[in-house]
Amino acid sequence: MFEWVNAIVQGALTGGVYALFAIGLSLAYGVMKLVNIAHGDFIALAAYIALVVMSASGLNPFAALPIVVVIMFGLGYVLQRAVLNKVLGQDILPPLLITFGMSIIIQNGLLEIFSADAKVLPIGSLSTASFTVFGPISLGVFPVITLAAALIITAGLSRLFKGTSLGVTLRATSDDRDTAQLMGIKDLHVYGLAMGIAFAVMAVGGVFMGMKNSVTPGAGPTFLIYAFEAVVIGGLGSLWGTFAGALLLGVAQGLGFMIGPAWGIMTGHLVFLAVLLFKPSGLFSRT
């Protein structure tokens, strides 16, 4: 019994990482109806940027994180204003093709600069530190920090959308771009800010992933799959739904590993497939 409870708890903690992957993807789709194929590669890029910042400054990963967040925010804003705004429209194919090209460029660029060797952002004893909750169930300190970070970011973005003028502007532009323009809202600038925020969340996901596991130049597509599955399970454009979907994905994988090593990742994919078949709009409504 305790083994299954532990699998659920550990799976939920893994879901914290998936939430950090998925929130930015959900945000970009919710505001701009943009599916970013290079999303996972930008997450990997954030981890490598952190590695460069740490090497240049001697900072630890947590201290380097704010710098990476700022860099990624700027990168997201510039890419949206300079490239992605030009291909947004009723046809979803141009953004898909553009971001697919970005994915290839990022993967090959990272491979050329950093080689294929896996990189880790060292956090010392924190990587193995844990505490006992009850019985045989122990929680890793770093996974708990990761889940808390995902929860705080989700709550913060939800508050941003519902309780600030910027949030109202983002929602208005998302709901009716033409009317927002008539009201004097600069939609292209708003889209840039939305993508900048999405990239900032990607930065947190990439750095935390680099601290949790190793990162390689080709890891992006795997990150994209987990993010996409979490978004679809929770509901497209729903921040809290995405967070819940990420936890459900992590729990499904945890239970799958209890069945057998080969079933861990597969169980998460099966849950994703079941949601697509029976409730393709996702389990939770948009917030």
Classify residue 140 by its DSSP letter.
E
Torsion of CA 94, 78, 154, 23, to 10 degrees: 30
| Euclidean distance between CA atoms 287 and 18, whole angstroms | 19
Question: Could you read off the pLDDT of 192-239 as tens digits, one per residue?
Answer: 999 999 999 999 999 999 998 889 999 999 999 999 999 999 887 788
Return the pLDDT at 263.
85
Return the pLDDT at 287.
45
This prediction's pTM: 0.91
Alpha helices for the chain (secondary structure H): 2-32, 39-57, 61-82, 93-114, 141-163, 165-175, 177-182, 187-212, 220-234, 239-259, 264-278
Question: Could you read off the pLDDT of 56-110 as tens digits, one per residue?
Answer: 998 999 999 999 999 999 999 999 999 998 888 777 888 899 999 999 999 999 9
| Euclidean distance between CA atoms 128 and 109, whole angstroms | 32
Question: Could you read off the pLDDT of 27-65 as tens digits, one per residue?
Answer: 988 888 888 999 999 999 999 999 999 999 989 999 999
Return the pLDDT at 114.
92
What is the share, in percent, of the chain residues with pLDDT greater than 70? 98
| 1 pLDDT tier (thresholds 50, 70, 90) | low
| Euclidean distance between CA atoms 117 and 230, whole angstroms | 28
Question: Among candidates 7, 16, 6, which has minimal Cα distance to 147?
Answer: 16
Q: Which residues contact 266 (CB under 8 A, 6 or more apart)?
A: 256
Question: Could you read off the pLDDT of 142-195 as tens digits, one per residue?
Answer: 999 999 999 999 999 999 988 788 888 888 887 777 777 777 788 788 899 999
Return the pLDDT at 162.
85
Question: Could you read off the pLDDT of 128-153 as tens digits, one per residue?
Answer: 888 887 777 788 899 999 999 999 99
Domains of the chain: 2-278 (1.10.3470)
- Four-residue CA torsion sign, 165, 166, 167, 172: positive
Return the pLDDT at 68.
97
| 286 pLDDT tier (thresholds 50, 70, 90) | low
